Amino acid sequence: MTAPPGQPGPAPAGLGAGYWRMFAADSVSSIGTVVSTLAIQFLLIDTLQADEQAIGLVRAAQWAPYLVFGLLAGVIAERVRRKPLLVAADLLGMTIFGAIGLLALAGRLTVPIVAGLVFVFGAVTCVSVAAYQSYVPRLVPERALPDAFARLEQMGQVVGSVGPVAAGSLVRFLSAPIAVLVDALSYAVSAVVIATIRTPEPPIVRGESRHLVAELREGARWVYRHETLRPYAFWLHSWFVGRAMVMTVLVFYANQELHLDALTVGLILAAAGVSGVVAAGVAPRLGRRFGVGRVITTVEWVSPLWPVLVVLAQPGPWGVAVLVVAMLLDGLTAMSASLMMTYRTAVTPDRLRARMNATIRTFNWGGLAIASFVSGWVASMWGSRVAMLAGAAILLVATAYLRRSAFRAAVLPVAV
């Protein structure tokens, strides 16, 4: 049974101490991740003299593990307890980014080494993200899911506004390797905080009939035979491809063609976090009132718009202003991000959630890996603007498809 789009659902329940510890851990590691994401790009550009193709290769390497291990990640996450898995993943993240930072400081880092290390990190992320997304519903009551995911999305947007500025400052006033080491430290802190969560997890069901291929098939069948999850998943896969075409070359474009330094780029990227905080904050209320499908299919029209503004930017103050407006528009998609996680979690049984998330993530980030490589190649052949316009075209087609699909009528279950 579902709540009508115009009728609010029940008041949300409390979130609990376990959730807030998870929130704190995710906040710290997310800041580090945003810092290292920008820092590694400047490390590649300034220290290793990488071109667009090399940047695309490194970005593709980070997400390529999803093409190999993505579907397995959900099965693995459902066969073990989630908390120890998340702690182990954070410790591995600390080790990997610590190695990148130290090798860079020692002058021993190369593009292939960066690609290899981020590939290993991507493999770790495959499993940890599947566990994380299905761990949150175990920390909060079902009715609190919209607010739980909305707060996480708000936090992500705050991090998105603070992290790039911090990254740009660290790169400019210290160095890119130091900024990467900050990310390594953030993973260590996150591991310690998650380890203190005391919320009990349900026992692992170990039936005799559990079969790897059957479990993979069941997770995929749930997503791609569901009336509303199917079009949502197809749209989201395309969205990741289109966005990757833009984001892979965005920093290179801003630095090399618009002549902006790391701090300025960080400040521009931070604008998305500012509007994103507001968008994520109003998402639960709008989702309950109008229906998640209507809200998402409306707000996502900004996805193909902001890359076009980026392409139109020219060197100078007006170009910076155009980029800021573009990032403010991009931040509005945070409204759909929290609603998407809430909806797909709410309509999926707990025993399938890790596999559902892993199935969707596999094709999202697998597509991102391929698109990142293609974007770097296109940019090296015809320029960054062509690569970003191709991404905008993909986003436009994907949004139009979602708008005409059954997902437009999607609403949250009454219990949520």
Q: What is the pLDDT of residues 176-223, one digit of tens each?
A: 899 899 889 989 999 999 888 887 766 665 555 556 677 778 878 888
Is residue 126 a part of any domain in this protein? Answer: yes
Dihedral angle of Cα 283, 137, 231, 288, to the nearest 10 degrees: -30
Tell me the helices (H) and strands (E) count for the chain, helix number first: 16, 0
Instruction: Give a yes or no: residue 4 inside a domain.
Output: no
* Alpha-helical regions (H) of 80-175: 82-105, 111-139, 145-173
pLDDT at 399: 94
Predicted confidence band of residue 311 (pLDDT cuts 50, 70, 90):
very high
Q: What are the pLDDT digits (tens) for 248-296?
A: 899 889 988 999 988 888 889 888 878 888 887 888 888 888 888 899 9
Q: Supply the pLDDT for residue 96.
A: 93
- The predicted structure's pLDDT at residue 202: 64
Q: Is residue 6, in this structure, part of any structural domain at all?
A: no
Residue 174 lies in a domain: yes
Q: Does 181 map to a domain?
A: yes
Closest to 270 measured CA to CA, from 55, 34, 42: 34
What range defines the domain where residue 58 resides? 17-198+211-409
Per-residue pLDDT of 325-334, as tens digits, reads: 999 999 898 8
Q: Quick one: pLDDT at residue 8?
A: 38
* Per-residue pLDDT at 205: 59
5 in a structural domain: no
The kind and range of the H/E element at 389 are helix 384-403
C-alpha 110, offset from chain centre: 26
117 part of a folded domain: yes
How many folded domains does the chain comprise? 1
Span 348-385, pLDDT tens digits: 887 787 778 778 888 888 888 899 889 999 998 999 99
CATH number of the domain bearing residue 163 = 1.20.1250.20
Can you tell me the mean pLDDT for 326-349?
86
Query: Where does the pLDDT of residue 95 fall: very low under 50, low under 70, confident under 90, or very high at 90 and above?
Result: very high
- CA–CA dist 364, 337 (Å, integer): 14
Q: Evaluate whether 365 touches 64 at the Cβ level (below 8 Å).
A: no
Of 378, 319, 332, 308, residue with least CA distance to 55: 378
Q: How far is CA 290 from the centre of its chain?
A: 25
Give pTM, 2 decimals.
0.76
pLDDT greater than 70 at residue 231: yes
**CA dist., res. 109 & res. 102, Å (int):** 9
Those residues whose C-beta lies under 8 Å from the C-beta of residue 317, and which sit 6 or more positions away, are none
Q: Tell me, yes or no, whether 7 lies in a domain.
A: no
Burial class (CB in 10 A: 0-12, 13-18, 19+), 153: buried
Nearest by Cα to 237 from 123, 370, 130, 360: 360
